[in-house]
Amino acid sequence: MNLKYSICMCNYNMADTIYESLKSLLSQLDDRFEVLIVDDGSTDNSVDIIKSIQKRYPLLRLIELDRDPKRKLGLTRNISIKEAKGDYVLLHLDCDDVFGPYLIDFVEVFHRLSTAFSRDILLSGQHINMAKRKFLLEHGPYRNIYRGEDRDLWSRLAVIKSYIPFDHVDFITRLPKPFVKKIQKNIKDIFDHMRNDFRGGISLYRYIQYECEKWNLLSLKLIIFRMVIMIPAWIISKYDEQIDQKNSIKSPEEFASYRERTRGTYAQLMNRCGSEVDVSFLDTNARKIFLCDVNEL
């Protein structure tokens, strides 16, 4: 078989989880796939672990980059797409995730939905995205930002109706992190999300309104925390390069509205396209993952 699919992963100091993550992934793939890891200048022994796994799995490929503080996650993702050898890329599979045995089923679901939509799409599932490599190179790339790089790209693809949110049972499990490391990452993620939203042109007043609309969905501690870091994120964003929103959905609430209007299970999306809902290609376990509600058939 010819190499057709590239699973693009980014690594930075994930030695604690990368062995278990790659083991769960590589064990279910055939020679149509490659797993491409772009290492962002790790200082732990995660690269050594990857190289040891390569000895058993030739479909695993590693690109090592020198550490560059100016290169954010978005740019690293772009490098993985450009260097991919497959016609299709699978994205947002992280090195601290364990993968259930449904990657090949997801690929088949993608092809059937892509045919039904009769256009190039990015299918955005639970912790997994897929699209033609050439399509992403033409309609991307990711912006050079740390968090929110995915939503920023999705917003641009939504404008051309090519971003398709896909509801299914999540078959990817995040491995636990040490408590302190987990808290530090959560703080950085939320702060960078806010900062990039402000860089995209959202006013502080509008952002406060947007946060207030979510209060019934969040705990009191999280509400207080988000309000506390909002002002520093807004101030720092004033010194950042602004993010051009010309060809994207401009506000978080508009993007949320788009997601709600267009998301669906496999059956819902196929019905929306006027296509027959054929599930014969899925075994019983995979149907439970990708159909969500068998009563839709």
Cis status, amide bond into 141, omega within 30 of 0: yes
3-state secondary structure of 163: strand
- pLDDT above 90 as % of the chain: 67
DSSP code per residue over 33-71: EEEEEEE----SSHHHHHHHHHTT-TTEEEEE----TT-
pLDDT of residue 248: 82
Question: Phi first, then psi: what are they for 35, rounded to 5°?
Answer: -110, 115
Do 80 and 90 meet the contact criterion of CB atoms below 8 Å apart? no
DSSP tag of 9: E
> How far is the C-alpha of 39 from the C-alpha of 9, rounded, in Å?
9
pLDDT of residue 197: 85
Residues in the chain with pLDDT values less than 50: 294-297
pLDDT of residue 293: 57
pLDDT of residue 244: 77
DSSP tag of 171: -
- Domains annotated for the chain, with CATH where assigned, are 5-174 (3.90.550.10), 179-237 (no CATH)
pLDDT of residue 181: 79
Do 170 and 127 meet the contact criterion of CB atoms below 8 Å apart? yes
Q: What is the pLDDT of residues 255-285, one digit of tens each?
A: 889 999 999 999 999 999 999 999 999 999 9
Contacts of 156 (CB under 8 A, 6+ apart): 139, 247, 248
